[in-house]
Amino acid sequence: MSEKHIVVNGATLKCKFSVEPELDKLKVKTQNKHYANDKDGSAKLIATDKEIGKTLEKNTFGKCKKLPTGSGDYLPCQATITKWSGFYEKITLSNNGKALLEDSKGACPVGGPDCIEVKNHGQIAEPSEQNFINANPDVQNLINPMLNMAEFQNELNGIPEAKK
């Protein structure tokens, strides 16, 4: 099984019935204790299957193919998530919710089950000091020859620079 990312606040979602694929951002409203990919613990709340209702930033994906007007146009989407599928079953958060994964799908009363999907999980790679300490100096020097990675790692580890 390949590794899947947990969905966090600010993840982008899309609906397969959007006329012109518009994205909207997920807002975590059901819990404020559990964070992922956020070393400061202030912005990346974990999204759960309890994110139901109007839980998007704009609450629309543009015009909806399921809502034709009869004149060749479509009515605007009123995004309301009614249910999630494909969430992570093994952990229950304090709101009794299960964490959403990057392949979780949302249901809508107009589009039906699994019409809303995660386009981007919302996590951003944030290297820490430990990542630099563990980095392979040979590889890093090939990527950035201006940096002496071994010297930088020694500095991070508190080892004084050797006298020249």
Summarised one tens digit per residue, pLDDT across range 92-115 is 999 999 999 999 999 999 999 999
Which segments of the chain are extended strands (E)?
12-15, 23-25, 63-68, 74-76, 83-85, 105-108, 112-120
Condensed to tens digits (0 to 9), the pLDDT of residues 132-143 reads 778 788 888 888
With tokens 């994906």, the residue in question is 61
pTM above 0.85, yes or no: no
Going by pLDDT thresholds of 50, 70 and 90, the confidence category of residue 164 is very low
